[in-house]
């Protein structure tokens, strides 16, 4: 049964965790398609929330890139957890974390997931690759974990995060690694038996054909999550018809930031002035509004002693 959940600010962190985890579970399990937007820091998360997104994807690629690392497990899991904590603190919507392959075996995976939960994440997505993993769109050598071993990772996360609402998504890389639908489906059924709440099926093809084929064969045993980074031209109507649960726009805030910063830097170094770009960048007032400077001003009025006019 789908729960009716509203996420609200709450000073009690445990209550907030429960509400955001329930909200993410509702999004993923709903009959209505959901959209999660990538965030890599507090600012990008605030922008996505202000735009109206109801959930966030804390992207491993984007967080690693912003830290100066490649998406190949070069960033430590503690660095990822710290970045996620800043995203959670800046927003009131649920955060699903890109957990790579869990940063090792079952023990690493359960420690990582438990720390994410403690920092307020609503769920984690773990992919069935060996550690260290490499970004799915880089090169062709992608080593998959043995099915039973990966099921152990999922079970360990399920058993050691003390919140039944915390969402565990199993990400299948069989199509990325060059295996067929049979291997993808075999893994999906095993991961469902191991306690996954949803299945993310990933593809690097320029169209959605193999994703839609998987969805038909899967018959919605669990909700299906997709990441249309490469097959971006496929209309959302196809996903709705296939009863796709959740679409993740996985890296677009980070990529948009690169383009915008490059354009601004090029113009400033060329013009030796910022006069030509002021109309094209966010105002300081916009920044102050996003980060709630008005709350600080109101708090100063409440908590700081008022100085009388003319006082020495």
Q: What is the pLDDT of residue 301?
A: 92
Q: What is the pLDDT of residue 7?
A: 38
Q: What is the pLDDT of residue 9?
A: 36
- What is the 8-class DSSP label of residue 136? T
Max alpha carbon distance in the chain (Å)?
81
**Residue 32 CB coordination number (10 Å):** 9
277 class by beta-carbon count within 10 Å (0-12 exposed, 13-18 middle, 19+ buried): middle
How far is Cα 165 from Cα 218, in angstroms, rounded to an integer? 24
Q: What is the pLDDT of residue 43?
A: 97
pTM of the predicted model over 0.85: yes
Q: What is the pLDDT of residue 139?
A: 75
Q: What is the phi/psi pair of residue 170, to 5°?
A: -95, 120
Establish whether 71 is a catalytic residue: yes
Q: Are 210 and 117 in contact (CB under 8 A)?
A: no
Q: If DSSP codes are grouped into helix, strand and coil, which group holds residue 249?
A: strand
| Positions in the chain whose pLDDT score sits under 50 | 1-11
Q: What is the pLDDT of residue 4?
A: 33
Q: What is the pLDDT of residue 134?
A: 86
Residue ranges covered by each domain of the chain: 18-255
Q: What is the pLDDT of residue 227?
A: 98
Buried b (16+ CB within 10 A) or exposed e, 179-201: bebebbbebbebbbebebbbbbb
CATH fold of 18-255, please? TIM Barrel (3.20.20)
Which tokens belong to 126?
């773990």
Using DSSP, how many helices (H) and how many strands (E) does the chain show? 12, 8
Which of 41, 71, 100, 128 is labelled catalytic? 71
Q: What is the pLDDT of residue 308?
A: 61
CA angle (9, 10, 13) in 5-degree steps: 120
Q: What is the pLDDT of residue 11?
A: 42
- What is the 8-class DSSP label of residue 133? P
């Amino acid at each position: 049964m789908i729960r009716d959940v509203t996420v609200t600010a709450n000073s009690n962190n445990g209550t907030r965790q429960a509400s955001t985890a329930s909200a993410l579970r509702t999004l993923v399990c709903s009959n209505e398609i959901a959209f999660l937007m990538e965030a890599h820091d507090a600012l990008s998360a605030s922008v996505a929330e202000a735009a109206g997104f109801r959930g966030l994807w804390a992207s491993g690629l984007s967080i690693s890139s912003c830290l100066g690392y490649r998406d190949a497990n070069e960033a430590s899991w503690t660095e990822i957890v710290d970045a996620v904590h800043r995203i959670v603190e800046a927003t009131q919507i649920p955060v699903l974390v890109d957990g790579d392959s869990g940063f090792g075996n079952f023990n690493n995976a359960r420690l990582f997931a438990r720390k994410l939960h403690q920092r307020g994440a609503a769920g984690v997505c773990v992919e069935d690759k060996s550690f260290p993993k490499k970004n799915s769109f880089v090169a062709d050598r992608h080593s998959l974990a043995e099915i039973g071993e990966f099921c152990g990772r999922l079970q360990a996360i399920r058993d050691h995060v003390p919140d039944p609402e915390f969402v565990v998504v199993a990400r299948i890389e069989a199509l990325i690694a060059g295996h067929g639908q049979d291997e993808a489906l075999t893994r999906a059924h095993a991961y469902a038996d191991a306690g996954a709440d949803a299945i993310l099926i990933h593809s690097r093809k320029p169209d959605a054909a193999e994703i839609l084929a998987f969805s038909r064969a899967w018959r919605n045993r669990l909700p299906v999550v997709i990441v249309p980074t490469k097959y971006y031209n496929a209309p959302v109507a196809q996903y709705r018809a296939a009863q796709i649960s959740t679409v993740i726009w996985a890296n677009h805030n980070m990529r948009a930031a690169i383009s915008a910063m490059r354009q601004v830097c090029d113009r400033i170094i060329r013009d030796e002035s910022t006069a030509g770009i002021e109309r094209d960048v966010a105002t300081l007032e916009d920044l102050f509004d996003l980060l709630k400077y008005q709350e600080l001003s109101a708090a100063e009025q409440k908590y700081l002693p008022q100085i009388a006019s003319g006082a020495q």
